[in-house]
Amino acid sequence: MRRTWLIFSQAVTVAVAALFVVATLKPDWLPRRSDGSVVTVLPSLAPVAPAQPVALAPGATVFSYAAAAQRATPAVVSITARKAPPRSAQSNDPWFRFFFGDGNPQPQTGLGSGVIATPDGYLLTNNHVIEGADDIEVQLTDGRTATAKLIGTDPETDVAVLKIELDRVPAISFGNTENLHVGDVVLAIGNPFGVGQTVTSGIVSALGRDQLGINTFENFIQTDAAINPGNSGGALVDAAGNLVGINTAIYSRNGGSMGIGFAIPVDTARQVMEGLIRDGQVMRGWIGVEPRELTPEIAETLRLPIRQGVLITGVLQSGPASEGGLRPGDVVVKVGDKPVASTGQLLNAVASLKPRETAVISVQRGDKALELNVVVGQRPKARTRQPQ
């Protein structure tokens, strides 16, 4: 049987080779159809239909995000931030200037994006776009430019608020991140690499991204819409053109988009903006504890009946948590009605509390579940790593 199969396979190989030689050197020996085309026999899994032009029926529509882009793009601006050139300590030394000259250091210029949030000219952008700038210029899509006034910044969320004095500025419509789901279509609008306003599309890849080490308070929207340098501070909008996030960071090994971008949720950005406009600062809750992730090994060592929560390793003496009865070794499982399973969730839950209000904090202390009443303090301004 094996010998028969070998003879058959060799015969087929010789036949295909002979056909190839004839088709190449003597194509006129092959049979032809009435239209003159050559008849060839090639192995095929299935017949392949010839490509046909496809015509849309009269009145048919092609799905597009043009309406969303047209609604949102007028409110997205380009930002140019200029910093005075650094001067060395020797620049005022006459002998240094005699030998090396005065030089002509150029101002440092950074490019970014922003979003007009209110009809009276308040803008949202990233703190890192305008940080340390001496002059901030804003250019609208209609060609108008204006010098922006810095209203305030919040480095812990990387949000900054600017103000421009222009008539009839187009403000963006705010969306609701509670209605945002993984898989929803989003558009990223900004000025990448300074080439001009650009719109890219993608989907929401994930929600609630934290522990990235970008900001103190992290609750990012992750998207695969292309975000590049210069998009920072620009808009992430939904399929209706409503603002759902402020583009702030990308994951990249080469400086360009790799399909992983992060945006600050619009509700966070809006809360920061309102606080900066109203109070000149963001009022956040604070209780004065040092948290740590609760691992299964720690829970087993402490013989805890729970496996989710945040372990408290330190309590600031005479701080709000200490006054409320919280102790090192306690495991916080809930702040108010918000369950907490990570240090990031605890930080955000405490920060959302209003200073001087009383919050109920649910903790596990050994085999006992307790509810402690804690009078919330005001979070100090960020300088170094702070207790939560």
Tokens 């910044």 sit on residue? 153
Decide if pLDDT at 37 tops 70: no
Decide if pLDDT at 261 tops 60: yes
The answer to whether position 324 is within a domain reads: yes
The answer to whether position 348 is within a domain reads: yes
206 with 191, same domain: the answer is yes
pLDDT confidence of residue 264: 94
pLDDT confidence of residue 245: 96
243 with 336, same domain: the answer is no
Q: Which of 128, 205, 238, 330 is catalytic?
A: 128
249 with 290, same domain: the answer is no
Residue 291: CB atoms within 10 A of its CB come to: 23
* CB 321 within 8 Å of CB 338: no
| Domain C-terminal end among 279, 306, 333 | 279
- Known catalytic membership, residue 78: no
Our measurement of the distance from residue 141's CA atom to the centroid of its chain's CA atoms, rounded to an integer in Å, reads 23
pLDDT confidence of residue 186: 95
| Domain C-terminal end among 279, 297, 322 | 279
298 with 352, same domain: the answer is yes
293 with 274, same domain: the answer is no
The answer to whether position 227 is within a domain reads: yes
Span 245-258, pLDDT tens digits: 999 988 877 777 77
- Known catalytic membership, residue 232: yes
The answer to whether position 304 is within a domain reads: yes
CATH number at residue 351: 2.30.42.10
The answer to whether position 335 is within a domain reads: yes
Q: Which of 78, 113, 154, 158 is catalytic?
A: 158
pLDDT confidence of residue 253: 73
pTM of the entire predicted model: 0.72
What share of the chain has pLDDT > 70, as a percent? Answer: 76
323 with 347, same domain: the answer is yes
266 with 205, same domain: the answer is yes
102 with 143, same domain: the answer is yes
Which span out of 117-121, 190-194, 336-340 was modeled with the highest average pLDDT? Answer: 117-121
**Distance between CA atoms of residues 226 and 189, nearest Å:** 9
120 with 191, same domain: the answer is no
Q: How many structural domains does the chain have? A: 3
186 with 270, same domain: the answer is yes
Span 41-83, pLDDT tens digits: 333 333 434 445 555 556 655 678 999 999 999 999 999 999 8
Decide if pLDDT at 219 tops 80: yes
Q: Which of 78, 113, 205, 232 is catalytic?
A: 232
The answer to whether position 267 is within a domain reads: yes
240 with 185, same domain: the answer is yes
Domain assignment of residue 205, given as a range = 177-279
290 with 275, same domain: the answer is no
CATH number at residue 88: 2.40.10.10
Beta bridge partners of 279: none
| Domain C-terminal end among 104, 130, 163 | 163
- Known catalytic membership, residue 128: yes
- Reduced 3-state DSSP string for the chain: CHHHHHHHHHHHHHHHHHHHHHHHHCHHHCCECCCCCECCCCCCCCCCCCCCCCCCCCCCCCCCCHHHHHHHHHHEEEEEEEECCCCCHHHHCHHHHHHHCCCCCCCEEEEEEEEECCCCCEEEEEHHHHCCCCEEEEECCCCCEEECEEEEEECCCCEEEEECCCCCCCCCCECCHHHCCCCCEEEEEECHHHCCCEEEEEEEEEEEECCCCCCCCCCEEEECCCCCCCCCCCEEEECCCCEEEEEEEECCCCCCCCCCEEEEEHHHHHHHHHHHHHHCCCCCEECCEEEEECCHHHHHHCCCCCCCCEEEEEECCCCHHHHCCCCCCCEEEEECCEECCCHHHHHHHHHCCCCCCEEEEEEEECCEEEEEEEECEECCCCCCCCCC
* C-alpha distance across the termini of the chain, in Å: 80
The answer to whether position 386 is within a domain reads: no
The answer to whether position 142 is within a domain reads: yes
